[in-house]
Chains A and B, each alone.
Chain A
Amino acid sequence: MNAEQNAEQKINTIQAINWALDDALAKHSNVILFGEEVADPEGGGVLKATQGLSSKYGANRVRSTPISEMGFVGAAVGAAIAGMRPVAEIMLMNFVAVCMDQITNHAAKLRFMSGGQTHVPLVLRTMTGTGFQQGGQHSDFLEAWFCHTPGIKVVMPSNPADAYGLMLGAIEDDDPVLYVEHLASYWNPGAAPKRGQAIALGKARIARPGKDVTLIGYSRSMLDIPVVAETLAKDGIDCEIIDLRTVSPLDMETILNSVKKTRRAVVVHEAVRSFGVGAEVSARIHEALFRELKAPVQRVASKDSPVPFAKQLEAAFIYSHADIEQAVRHTMA
């Protein structure tokens, strides 16, 4: 799509999302985009991820909405049933709480409840994460709520290339997809994706091959896990790293193949620890490989508390590199 694109080009996740939405709008006439402030007159998105798109594709297809998540997420559900492929933006993940009915009672269930007569090919973009002292209602990772709801898929990219390919994959997927972006790493540069190439949902990626222990992460934890793996490598601990990318449905094949080899696993996420994705991954590994494991699967996550405001409290809330390292060493003991 972009002839001038070169192999060493670096872009950040905001640009990656912008490219993906631009390419999807160009390729599919039924893609429409809406959310608070997404159109150019309102700024082209709070972080400019949708900048230029309303000017390029028109106000009919790219619309800023009132601050009315229940209204416009429901409208996205209706438009999807009618054959459109809406991408609706919920500015921050905590705001899903005001439109959960449309997501979990409708988007996720209408295919099943209609006996397959209707489906909801909808993408809900949202972002979250600690690091900006935004306190208890602007920072939560709530993916487990949606993973616990059959019928919806959950995608959580960790780098610009995946963000691009997974966004195209999510838009082209026939199921409703919650697409969660990580706030603090938006501006991190990464390898540019190949334009036009979607990544199919449901496939994890081996980010680093290794033989001693499998570290499983997604979204923000994929910034931290490789750093710890390098530290451990100096001590001769060879970590294999899996980036889930699609958190639900889980790519158990990739996970189990890796753990069969390493016989040890640690799951790391920014969401709070209890009843989370880590618990599910851990349970499934134990169910499948209990007798082959050399140590119980470890979970590294944030504390079971609301996200606090003060800088030192926020730092104490989220796991540290030392926590990951300790968990790995525990499995090696």
Chain B
Amino acid sequence: MHETPQNAGYMIAAYVVTAVVLVGYWLRLAGKIRRGTRD
């Protein structure tokens, strides 16, 4: 019988990286918009 590989760590890393990149970019834009409001 085929055994399912145990590789959850890679999947978790990919989901974390994706969230960090997208939220990070959103925060970067939000910071620029805030500065644009202040200037």
A interacts with B: no
